[in-house]
Amino acid sequence: MRTVICLVLLLCAAGFAGPVAAQVTVSGGLSGQIRTFPERPTRAEQDVRAAQPTFTGEAKLEAQGPRKRFMVTFNPYVRYDAVDGQRSVFDLHELKVSAGGQHWHVKAGYDVEFWGVMEVVNPVNVLNQTDVTEDFLTKRKLGQLMVDYTLLGNFGTVDFYALGGFQPMRFPTATARLSPAVPIHQDDVMYGSGRGRSQLEGAVRYFRNVRNVYVGVSQFYGYARDPEMLVAFDSQSMPFVAARYDLEHQTGVEVQVTLGNVILKSEDVFRADAHGRRSHALSAGSEYDLGSVLQSGRTISLFAEYYFDSRSQSLVIPFRNDVFAGTRVSLNDRRSSEVRVWGNYDLSARKVTAIMVDASARLSERLKAVVTYRGIMARQDALASIARDSHFVFKLEAFF
């Protein structure tokens, strides 16, 4: 880790030592939000306050040389939760230097890399740790220390990654809403490697677009981002859960075919951990754009996806054998108003267990309002411990 940080600082110094002045831009945003839970919690020890205020701040500083051939990016993110201290987070989302030419690109430092094509669950997206306290079934990722060397050409794009400074997952406190029934000890973390967080990880990914067909293949070796949860007992013989991160190989395949207003896509992963255990996850589905059919000037997308995971548990994705369906409507108006509604159907339990609504609109050049609803209807499965934690979030975002 120290080596990478030294490399970052050296590259910074080298990039700006020349006579060419860098172009510097600063931007960012602040938000205030209230989470409200209409129902009383499942467990007596949980917080009964109906409203949970949260504040976030984010800044982005970019300094770039001529034609973006050299760039330094600093993009920290902070979240303060007035009720659940473990939901407060400081994330070094981006702190990187990057340089490149026509056929290559290199970056070193903290960054977020998104892999995948699906709308709901992206099993191939494995490099960054998930910020699970941010939202139910969140897509938000934490910055990951990495060096990424990219080769570009007619053959496609190949990325080689070296990763370090693993970040274990953060969980809500035991008394907070949306927390598991058995308390998770944040500091009792076990690693499959004696190097612990210092374990070096690696990945390679190839992807290519040929007209309307996109194919991506990836190979990752490192800690599973989604830990195995082990039950243990404390000195008073009270049970708690500790997270264990084993080293694993993950092979991922992503495919997307765009046929006019229909998009077909899938993500497949095959995992093998250090204990010889193998697992498989598949997500496949389609997206249909109604906008051109209705000629309304609006973007109206329908999507349906199937997800299967052979593992028995996951903290990131509380679904095993589910169909998701939903719609996303963008009015394409001056306020960029849009709403997304979707839900799942659990094929094993044969019932709908979650419904999600996200709506947003710009209030002014600098203000945006966001309203979300997370309806959780499961009572006896992976979602049982949060069965009464359906909630609304009212958020106001200001940008500078």
Partner 1 sequence: MTSITALVIGQVLTPGAGSGAGGADQGRQIFAEVSRRNGGYGDQRAGVSMQLKRKSGAATTRTMDIATLEVANDGTRSIVSFDSPLDVKGTKVLTYSHGEQDDEQWIYLPAFKRVKQIADASKTTSFMGSEFTYEDLNSLNIQLDKFSYRYVKTEDVNGAACFVVERVPLYPRSGYNRQVVWIDTVKYVVLKVEYYDRKDALQKTLSLSGYRQYASALWRADEMLMTNHQSGDETKLRWTGYTFKSGLAVNDFSASALKR
Among 100, 180, 196, 343, binds partner 1 (CB under 8 A): 100
Helix and strand numbers (H, E) in the chain are: 2, 21
Among 52, 54, 98, 353, binds partner 1 (CB under 8 A): 98
Contact set for partner 1, span 152-181 (CB under 8 A): 152-153, 157
- Does 214 help bind partner 1 (rule: CB under 8 A)? yes
Contacts of 96 (CB under 8 A, 6+ apart): 8, 72, 73, 107, 108, 109, 110, 111
Contact 269, 249 (CB under 8 A): no
Given phi > 0 = left and psi -120 to 50 = alpha, else beta, which region is 237?
Answer: left
Q: How far apart are CA 45 and CA 394, in angstroms?
A: 25
State the pairing for strand pair 144-153/156-164.
Answer: antiparallel
Q: How far apart are CA 28 and CA 93, in angstroms?
A: 13
- Does 211 help bind partner 1 (rule: CB under 8 A)? yes
Q: How far apart are CA 95 and CA 118, in angstroms?
A: 27
Q: Which residue has the tokens 């000037």?
A: 297
- Does 395 help bind partner 1 (rule: CB under 8 A)? no
Comparison of 182 and 262: residue with beta carbon closer to partner 1: 262
- Does 380 help bind partner 1 (rule: CB under 8 A)? no
- Does 31 help bind partner 1 (rule: CB under 8 A)? no
Among 219, 313, 336, 348, binds partner 1 (CB under 8 A): 336
What's the min distance (Å) between Cβ of 258 and partner 1?
6
> Which region among 192-200, 277-285, 292-300, 379-387 touches partner 1 (by CB under 8 A)?
292-300
Nearest partner of 112 among 100, 101, 102, 122, judged by Cα: 122
Q: How far apart are CA 191 and CA 330, in angstroms?
A: 44
Comparison of 31 and 175: residue with beta carbon closer to partner 1: 31
Comparison of 127 and 176: residue with beta carbon closer to partner 1: 127
Instruction: Quickly count: other Cβ atoms within 10 Å of residue 278's Cβ.
Output: 12
- Does 202 help bind partner 1 (rule: CB under 8 A)? no
Total residues binding partner 1 (CB under 8 A) = 57
- Does 262 help bind partner 1 (rule: CB under 8 A)? yes
Distance of CA 371 to the CA centre of its chain: 20
- Does 103 help bind partner 1 (rule: CB under 8 A)? yes
- Does 287 help bind partner 1 (rule: CB under 8 A)? yes
- Does 219 help bind partner 1 (rule: CB under 8 A)? no
Contacts of 237 (CB under 8 A, 6+ apart): none
Nearest partner of 84 among 58, 44, 46, 130, judged by Cα: 46
What's the min distance (Å) between Cβ of 25 and partner 1?
9
Helix (H, G, I), strand (E, B) or coil at 351: strand
Helix (H, G, I), strand (E, B) or coil at 18: coil
Among 261, 310, 313, 380, binds partner 1 (CB under 8 A): 261
Contact 26, 398 (CB under 8 A): no
- Does 102 help bind partner 1 (rule: CB under 8 A)? yes
List Cα–Cα distances, 253 to 116, 128, 150, 277, 375, in angstroms. Answer: 9, 18, 19, 20, 31
- Does 24 help bind partner 1 (rule: CB under 8 A)? no
What's the min distance (Å) between Cβ of 61 and partner 1?
13
- Does 310 help bind partner 1 (rule: CB under 8 A)? no
What's the min distance (Å) between Cβ of 263 and partner 1?
6
- Does 286 help bind partner 1 (rule: CB under 8 A)? no
Interacting residues with partner 1 (CB under 8 A): 27, 29, 60, 67-68, 71, 98, 100, 102-103, 105, 111-114, 117, 139-141, 150, 152-153, 157, 207, 209, 211-212, 214, 256, 258, 260-263, 287, 289, 291-293, 295, 297-299, 301, 330, 332-336, 362, 365-366, 368, 397, 399-400
